[in-house]
Amino acid sequence: MTKFDIAIIGGGPAGATLARLIGKNFKVLLIDGKNDSENSFRKTCGGLLSPDAQKAFAEFDLTLPKEILVDPQIFSVRTIDLKNGAERHYQRFYMNLDRHKFDLWLESLIPDSVENFLGKCRKISRDADGTFRLVCKGNDGSEKIFSADKIIGADGANSIVRKYLYPDKKIRRYTAIQQWFPEENAKPFYSCIFDPETSDCCSWSISKDNIFIFGGAFAPENCRENFEKQKKRLEARGFVFGTPIKTEACVVLRPKSPFDICAGKDGAFLIGEAAGLISPSSLEGISFAVNSARILSEVLCSDTAAPNKKYSARLIPLRIKILIKVMKCPFMYVPLLRSIVMKSGIQSIKIASE
Structural domain count of the chain: 2
Q: What pLDDT does 193 receive?
A: 97
Whole-number Cα distances in Å, 107 to 49, 60, 100, 118: 17, 15, 11, 12
pLDDT classification of 352: cutoffs 50, 70, 90 = confident
At 272-301, the pLDDT tens digits run 999 999 999 999 999 999 999 999 999 999
Whole-angstrom distance between the N-terminal and C-terminal Cα of the chain?
67
- 187 shares its domain with 286: no
**Assigned domain for 60 exists:** no
Euclidean distance between CA atoms 88 and 350, whole angstroms = 8
Percent above pLDDT 90 for the chain? 90
Residue 111 and residue 22 share a domain:
yes
Each residue of 52-72: pLDDT tens digit?
A: 999 999 999 999 999 999 999
**Any idea what the CATH number is for the domain that residue 298 is in?**
3.50.50.60
**Taking 70 as the threshold, does the pLDDT of residue 353 lie above it?**
no
Query: Which pTM value belongs to this model?
Result: 0.95
* 122 shares its domain with 82: no
DSSP 97: B
Q: Nearest Cα to 228, choosing from 250, 203, 206, 245?
A: 203
Question: Could you tell me if residue 13 is inside a domain?
Answer: yes
Q: Do 43 and 6 belong together in one domain? A: yes
Spell out the residues 6+ positions from residue 293 whose beta carbon is closer than 8 angstroms to its own.
13, 14, 15, 17, 18, 21, 154, 271, 272
Claim to verify: residue 30 and residue 110 sit in the same structural domain? yes
pLDDT, average across residues 127-144? 94
Residues 115 and 20 in one domain: yes
In a domain, 30, yes or no: yes
Per the DSSP assignment, residues forming a β-bridge with 180 are 213, 246
pLDDT at 2 over 90: no
Q: Is residue 298 part of a domain?
A: yes
200 in any annotated domain: yes
pLDDT 10s digits, 81-121: 999 899 999 999 999 999 999 999 999 999 999 999 999 99
Using the predicted structure, report yes or no on whether residue 354 has a pLDDT greater than 70. no
Kindly state the DSSP code that residue 285 receives in the 8-state scheme.
-
| Domain shared by 21 and 147, yes or no | yes
> pLDDT tens, 168-198?
999 999 999 999 999 999 889 999 999 999 9
**Max mean pLDDT range (37-51, 261-275, 339-353):** 261-275
Rg over CA atoms, the chain: 21
Work out the average pLDDT over 135-161: 96
Domain-embedded: residue 25: yes
| 59 within domain boundaries | no
Residue 186 is predicted with a pLDDT of 86
Let me know whether 113 and 30 are in one domain: yes
pLDDT of residue 128: 93
Residue 194 lies in a domain: yes
* Mean pLDDT of the 200-204 span: 97
Summarize the confidence of residues 39-61 as an average pLDDT: 89
213/320 same-domain check:
no
> Considering the chain, what is the average pLDDT of its residues?
94
Residues 163, 301 within the same domain: yes
d(CA 187, CA 239): 11
CA dist., res. 101 & res. 99, Å (int): 6
Is the distance from CB of 231 to CB of 115 less than 8 angstroms? no
183 plus 87 within the same structural domain: yes
Instruction: Give 189: exposed, middle or buried? Use CB within 10 Å, 0-12, 13-18, 19+.
Output: middle
- List the CATH number of the domain containing 206: 3.30.9.10
- Type of residue numbered 226: N
Task: Provide the domain limits for residue 73.
Answer: 66-98+172-254+333-349
Q: For residues 26-31, give the mean pLDDT.
A: 97
**Same domain? 245 vs 312:** no
